[in-house]
């Protein structure tokens, strides 16, 4: 993927299926941390190389960091998000700021490993099984356009699936408030 946001599409789809068993913020944190590697390589060398953190071993380290202390950072981010919402926005957009260790581990692992898989399909230099294998068997499995489209569609589907219960909950709480005033 050229930039991390494409990776978030499958994350939204996974979140819509797994619900509270997965932290989307830990998923996003793992993806962002992994993409710091090619950014740093580009700034330092001019080559956006995908090296250590784009391997299973590197992704495992990123997943562990994304669980602890990343979970605490993600909880702080969610509290900040909620504090910026108006009462009307909060009915639709407020999120639970506490992230269970299981949800953080699931989100971080799915984020880190899906990142390596998606980048393996797109980039020739991703060697997911290094140092045990110097081969990228996934590269070119599908076209880059189809890969991007799949990520975008997964994101749209996931967001729609997540939005429906939130809208329903907001409508229910709104009608309950109207009934109390009457």
> What is the value of pTM for the model shown?
0.88
Q: What is the pLDDT of residues 123-179, one digit of tens each?
A: 999 999 999 999 999 999 999 999 999 999 999 999 999 988 777 776 777 665 555
- 3-class SS letters over the chain: CCCCHHHHHHHHHHHHHHHHHCCHHHHHHHHHHHHHHHHHHHHHHCCCCCCHHHCHHHHHHHHHHHHCCHHHHHHHHHHHHHHCCCHHHHHHHCCCCCCCHHHHHHHHHHHHHHHHHHHHHHCCCCCCCCCCCCCCCCCCCCCHHHHHHHHHHHHHHHHHHHHHHHHHHHHHHHHHHHHHHC
């Amino acid at each position: 993927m050229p930039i991390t946001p494409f990776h978030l599409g499958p994350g939204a789809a996974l979140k819509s299926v797994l619900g509270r068993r997965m932290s989307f913020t830990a998923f996003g944190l793992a993806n962002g941390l992994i993409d710091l590697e090619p950014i740093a390589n580009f700034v330092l060398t001019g080559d956006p190389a995908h090296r250590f953190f784009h391997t299973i071993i590197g992704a495992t380290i990123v997943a562990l960091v994304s669980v602890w202390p990343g979970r605490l950072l993600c909880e702080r981010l969610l509290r900040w998000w909620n504090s910026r919402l108006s009462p009307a926005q909060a009915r639709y957009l407020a999120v639970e700021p506490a992230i269970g260790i299981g949800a953080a581990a699931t989100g971080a692992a799915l984020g880190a490993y899906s990142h390596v898989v998606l980048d393996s399909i797109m980039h020739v230099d991703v060697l997911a099984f290094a140092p045990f294998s110097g081969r990228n068997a996934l590269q070119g499995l599908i076209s880059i356009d189809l890969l991007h489209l799949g990520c975008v569609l997964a994101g749209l589907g996931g967001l729609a699936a997540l939005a429906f219960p939130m809208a329903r909950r907001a409508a229910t709480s709104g009608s309950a408030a109207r009934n109390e005033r009457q």
